[in-house]
Amino acid sequence: MNTFPPTDFETLDPQDWETMRALMHQMVDDAVGYLANVRDREIWQQMPPEVMASFTGPVPTQPSSAESVYEELQSTVLPYNMGNVHPRFWAWYMGNGTISGVMGDFWASVMNPNVGGGNHAGIEVERQVLNWMKEIMGFPASASGLLVSGGSMANFSALTVARNVKAGYDIRQEGIRPEIAGKMIAYASGEVHSCNQKALELLGLGANSLHKIRVNPDYTINLEALANQIQEDRAKGLLPFCVIGTSGTVNTGAIDDLPALADLCEAENLWFHVDGAIGAVAVLAPNAKASLAGIERADSIAMDLHKWLHMPFEAGCVLIKDASAHKNAFSLIPEYLAKNTRGVASGENWPSEYGLQLSRRFRALKIWMSLKEHGTEKFGRMIARNIEQAQYLGRLIAMEPTLELLAPIGLDIVCFRYNPGGMDLAALNALNKEIKLQLEEQAIAVPGYTTLADAYCIRIAIANHRSTTEDFDVFLEELLRLGKLLNG
């Protein structure tokens, strides 16, 4: 029996569009103010217990007004953001976003298409963005690509294709044959990002399939050790299939010798993949382009556009030279996805045939709008400035007797520590960790951290288009103040 009144049609649209219009206008005004006045707010603050408790309630069963929901957002969410839109956020490796990217995400949600396939504008926008990425990276127009969530999925996608191509049989159909189980080997430096190991694990090859090669003093892969390891593995009956080069390691920003890796892979018939999540787009910067020579020779590249291109999360990209191999690795067309020659379900080479996702957000729109608004030359200038800022910070550190660099500055990453002397390693590590935490808790800056040769480093990753030279002056002044206070 139908219990709904026949004249009362219920939808999820607003009952009063004008009231909703006014609320959304207010949200837009507040959002612009949120970014325009980012320096006026604390970079990060701990969420109080009473606010955290507000997130433990049961699922809502009855409606609330949109106005009240927005009020709750303003009081419980907005004040406790991660902080990566702030000019002094240099932790991990994150971009800051752009207003045009925000607008792209807004319209992507309004339009709300599934960019897994079909014949509609979202597909064409993504194709153009991918063609732009190929042009930026020096890949041929015939190459393939896909926008994904981030570097982890981009690396997974590329390594899937590499595995399938180099297995020498239909691995999709048969799975891992017993005679190659535990034998397919990929190579990377000891500084390779952990997502590559996770990818190999998920591909059924196991963590042991990643042979990590020792690095040089500048944290780039040691080519002699790599070549020797490949030969040793072949002699043991193993099956080398891929080398993962890095264009900007996560710890120090080191760039492997990409031309030499390309030569080696050609000579050894190995797939050459570049994890470019951190530094690939630095080809746009005049002061970095030369150091990335050879990246165009890769068989595949993984990129994170929400890092140094400052797209709002999520925006990753994978490029693969062999378009047929890319499609063969992922394409599966059941009857309910069969293509028509006309209408919405027409078109060839749907994005869903090049990755795991069938349901896909319209990620390309924010990238398309941002690149159209700013152009690649401006993005290149922003990248170049960050590189110059890293060198500036390095000079300040070199001038201060109680500070020491712990690694060469790679691209835009500076690893250093406070060292007043007379302390053992454990005490130094504890002191620097406390300095880092107090910088956050006092809302001065959010630096990153890592450990190199057992030494705890304060790691500054400058992928921030809002940072100024003065930000680094203030940062070091406050760091030194805390160091003296904590070591007093």
353-370 pLDDT tens trace: 999 999 999 999 999 999
Confidence tier at 337 by pLDDT (50, 70, 90) = confident
* Percentage of the chain exceeding pLDDT 70: 99
Distance CA 265, CA 283 (A): 22
pLDDT at residue number 112: 96
- The confidence band for 174, taking pLDDT boundaries of 50, 70 and 90, is very high
pLDDT of 55-95, one tens digit each?
A: 999 999 999 999 999 999 999 999 999 999 999 999 999 99
pLDDT band at 3 (very low <50, low <70, confident <90, very high): low
pTM: 0.95
Share the mean pLDDT of the chain: 95
Average pLDDT value for residue range 126-139: 98
SS3 70: helix
Distance CA 183, CA 197 (A): 15
Burial class (CB in 10 A: 0-12, 13-18, 19+), 8: exposed
Q: Taking residues 282-306, what's their average pLDDT?
A: 97
Q: Where are the beta strands (DSSP E) in 190-330?
A: 210-213, 239-246, 271-276, 300-304, 316-320
Mean pLDDT, residues 174-182: 94
Residue pLDDT, tens place only, 417-440? 999 999 999 999 999 999 999 999
The Cα–Cα gap between 234 and 168 comes to 16
CA dihedral 62, 64, 70, 74 (to 10 degrees): -70
For 56, residues 6+ apart whose C-beta sits below 8 A from its C-beta are none
State the Rg of the chain over Cα.
25
Contact 272, 299 (CB under 8 A): yes
